[in-house]
Structure 1
Amino acid sequence: MFKAFTNSVILFFLVIMNMTLFIWCVNQLELGSSTVKRTLFVEVQAETSTSAQKSVQRIEAVTQRPILNSSTRTPYAIHQDKPSQQVVLQFKPEHIRLDKTEQAKLENRLQSWDIQIFHSVKIFSGATLSIKNGQFPQLAKLRVQSVARMIYPYTQTVKMYYQSSIEKDEVLVKIFSPKN
């Protein structure tokens, strides 16, 4: 038993000596730095914050219609009380996105109405029912947001409303022209 213990202690010291010899050899092979320079991380952080300044590149969003410059925009346009155009979109039960026919209907109307940046759009959504016939307002919100994504390239003045009086699975889009 004593012999096994001494053999394990000797083996442990040999492994430690072998590791220290290996580390010493690796340190001797390092080129260019004979001594280790120790710096605080605060100093390194301070150096990098002042020296590493990058220029910010602005990336413009691609839209279907060009955004007009500030001289042609009416910054605080007052819109009419009654909508100039409106469309009622029908969603399938428990669907967030429009089907192909309703989507084509909305896109055709948006292109034919010649909506500009100074028009205002209000989107109304009614109650939706889930599988258990309970009201599900999150689904109505997601529907309105998907319609707003389609309208946003035409005008950025889009407001979304929840109105319980609208028929179930319907979304009403009202477009307002600015007062002259």
Structure 2
Amino acid sequence: MSDRPVHHGNLRAVLLDQAEVRLRERGVAGLSLRELAREAGVSHGAPRSHFIDRAALLDALAERGFVRFAEVVEQASTRRSTSYRSRLRRTAHAALDFSIGNAALLEVMFTGKVGEASEAIERAAGRLFLAVRGVIDAGVAAGAFEEADVERISLLWSATVQGAATLVASGRATRAQADAIVDDTVALVLSGSIRAL
């Protein structure tokens, strides 16, 4: 039993916090509503008032992850910069930090089946993709690239960050190599070379 009292109204947040810790330590297979209830000091049925089953818990974790990831991108992209290059680079590295630090959570966020995500997850994911799109749209205003390239560059930006983080999480790349991958992609995008690909 937990020595932290659980008050009515915050059990959902407590369970999600504990679930994130377990996710980092043991992966998705290590998540159990019964165990989370025991650790929270409540009956094994208490979590069901917030999560009907394990899948609902995973959905809530995914939604929370998308919201936090969007906040990271939004905060990094709105800080003052001396140039668009520094803004794009800073935002990409902030996203990489989040992705590496939350590798198991990202797996939950991005492994959902297309067309089966809840409205809440769709909204949260949409916020993240709009935040990324905003960073890339700013490049058009700065004269870094054309409007026609925005969707392609947004996907490249996202794939680079997520792919580099996956390489680090799997031990196939070091953090320094992941940073270099992100910097190389920023340089490629801003060089205009992407238009020739």
Give the TM-score normalised by structure 2: 0.25
- Structure 1 or 2, whichever has the larger Rg, is 1
More strand by share: 1
Give the structure, 1 or 2, with the largest relative contact order (CA under 8 Å, sep 6 or more): 1
Give the TM-score normalised by structure 1: 0.27
